[in-house]
Amino acid sequence: MRFILAILASLLALPAAAIELTAPFENIDGGTLKLSDWAGQPVLVVNTASRCGFTDQYEGLQTLYETYRDRGLVVLAVPSGDFRQELATNEEVKDFCELTYGIDMPMTGITSVRGANAHPFYTSVAEEVGFTPAWNFSKILVAPNGTVAATFGSTVKPLSSTLTDEIEPLLN
């Protein structure tokens, strides 16, 4: 029993994993976005796709953003073609999201989230915490201190208590 307690104590004492927050993402509106731009705020990073069975989660993501943005939450949509369910161009994605879901949360351009061409943020999350999106609408919650607070698969809905219970303690 002492051995198990010692192992648990040592795991709890590990430093927070350092993930890449400064590598720029292409902004779907032009220019770039960096997670470090939101230092001190919780950021929910979600790899998205316009032609997926989970695409209706955009509605919940927008509601989540509207509900908590005044308390500091940023929801960053990262359209990705890695699962072959994204539209062909950033302009098509932007138009689809704005017209269908009224999206005004920050969005990157179409970005790879897994494999050899994955964005450095996703590569660092895979290396440091062992999480790689298995499908569209996987979620990574970055704490205000820049560490990964939690990860969620595609089936976790944006307004579920599973997700909001992790977000709320991180808010202003």
Helix/strand/coil (H/E/C) assignment for every residue in the chain: CHHHHHHHHHHHCCCCCCCCCCCCEEECCCCEECHHHHCCCCEEEEEECCCCCCCCHHHHHHHHHHHHHHHCCEEEEEECCCCCCCCCCHHHHHHHHHHHHCCCCCEECCCCCCCCCCCHHHHHHHHHHCCCCCCCCCEEEECCCCCEEEEECCCCCCCCHHHHHHHHHHCC
Query: Residues with catalytic annotation?
Result: 52
